[in-house]
Amino acid sequence: MCYKNLSGISWEDLQSLSLVERGKYFNQEGGLPYHTLIAQQFNRTNLDLLCNLTTKVRHICKTKQGVSFMKDLGCGKRAIIYFDQPSTRTRLSFEAACDILGIDRSLVDNPAETSSEKKGESKLDTMRTFSSYGNMIIMRTIQQGLAEQTAWHLAQTRRPVPVFNGGSGKDQHPTQMLLDVYTFKRSMEKVGGLTSKTIVFVGDLKRGRTVRSLAWALTNYTPIKLVFCALDRFQILPDVLEWLDAAPGVEYELTSNFTQAIREADGLYMTRMQDEHDESGESKGVDTFNLTPDNVNTMKPTAVIHHPLPRRDEIHTAIDTDPRAMQWRGVRNGQWMRVADIATVFGWHTDIEDYWRKNHI
Ligand code: NCD
């Protein structure tokens, strides 16, 4: 099923590839996702396909007939949902996406306490067990690379089920990236879409996995300018800048001037301090950049404000009613985008397209 077969490469050789090359092992022949592991397996073609499908899914689910059509697609499939880090939106939206598609689900939450990991079972044995009961694995883990390793490991077995990365350490969050791209794209429809825009990232850019995945994904919407606004010690890491250097049509700037950055923004991506990754309290007492009812007025009238959430003070709650604030719409988009992603992995996107043609045109 994979475009380049994961069973034909050693784990070490896979690790030595560039992220874009590695991504080819996670996609189906034809370039649609099989696993959803890293932002670099996505390109303009599969991103646009997923965004268009998300819009159709949203509309189809407005009717009872559409809801039952969708629910039939995943009948007989089971998802195993494994989260070893806290989550509200990612977990609930994956659960909702499974329900919308009629996929049964089993949840393994807090595995260190509740699963055989407590008895010393390895994570890979745990994952192999999941593949015996489930047709897909959805996982969030602090352990960077575990989702990829699970996909590789299962490719060497008779049940190489698709793996969905719901957040891996400080590294990547590809399904959040999908909903972020969709949210920006959809909100910018009236101003010509994402291309030729300035997107400003603010906050803990060093340890924010959503920022790393989204920054790469936006290189598919060139020409584009990315501004990284952070205190020096929380600034975006050099590996991301290398990705951007290699992408034609991408301009970027590093700054700590929040006042100036928000004035220039067509899209603003606020993030919180990722203090769970502190090694010695480095983010304690740090003044964060916050959007307030005062400074939001300096932003363009067409700007799109977004946040992956959870937030602390980065976006004042009074701004939630500002028509430019899209972070809550983003939460709901996450459910629909995850439906689209899962449906595409299992090949149901063609059924959805057929249903759309027959019922919505
Ligand atoms: C993000 C995450 O877990 O990385 N949350 C999410 O999935 N929406 C962002 C964060 O926790 O700051």
Q: Which atom of ligand 1 is nearest to the CA of 85?
A: 3
What ligand 1 atom has the least distance to the C-alpha of 89? 8
Atom of ligand 1 nearest to the CA of 166: 7
Pocket flag, ligand 1, residue 327 (CB < 6 Å): no
Quick one: tokens of 8? 């034909």
pLDDT at 1: 75
One digit per residue, the tens of pLDDT, for the chain of length 361 reads 788 999 999 999 999 999 999 999 999 999 999 999 999 999 999 999 999 999 999 999 999 999 999 999 999 999 999 999 999 999 999 999 999 999 999 999 999 999 999 999 999 999 999 999 999 999 999 999 999 999 999 999 999 999 999 999 999 999 999 999 999 999 999 999 999 999 999 999 999 999 999 999 999 999 999 999 999 999 999 999 999 999 999 999 999 999 999 999 999 999 999 999 999 999 998 988 999 999 999 999 999 999 999 999 999 999 999 999 999 999 999 999 999 999 999 999 999 999 999 997 6
Using the Cα atoms of residue 11, residue 13, residue 15 and residue 17 in order, give the sign of their dihedral: negative
In angstroms, the CA 213 to CA 15 distance is 18
For the annotated catalytic residues, the residue numbers are: 89-90, 119, 140, 173
Q: Exposed, middle or buried: residue 246 (CB in 10 Å: 0-12, 13-18, 19+)?
A: exposed
Residue to substitute in 309, 326, 328, 331 for testing ligand 1 pocket (most ligand atoms within 8 angstroms of CB): 309
Residue among 139, 173, 326 whose CB has most ligand 1 atoms within 8 A, to mutate: 173
Question: Quick one: pLDDT at residue 361?
Answer: 62
Q: Is the CB of 219 under 6 A from ligand 1?
A: no
- Identify the pLDDT of residue 271: 98
**Ligand 1 and 140: CB distance under 6 A:** no
| Confidence (pTM) | 0.98
The response to whether residue 89 sits with its C-beta less than 6 Å from ligand 1 reads yes
Give the span between the Cα atoms of 277 and 142, in whole angstroms: 10
- Atom of ligand 1 lying closest to residue 90 CA: 7
309 lines ligand 1 (CB under 6 A): yes
Count how many Cα atoms sit within 13 Å of the Cα of residue 104 in the half-sphere of its side chain: 8
Q: From the CB of 33, is ligand 1 less than 6 Å away? A: no
Does the beta carbon of 173 lie inside 6 Å of ligand 1?
A: yes
pLDDT value of residue 200 = 99
Contacts of residue 360, defined as CB under 8 A and 6 or more positions apart, other chains included, come to 56, 59, 60
Examine residue 293 and say whether the peptide bond preceding it is cis (omega within 30 degrees of 0). Answer: no
d(CA 262, CA 250): 19
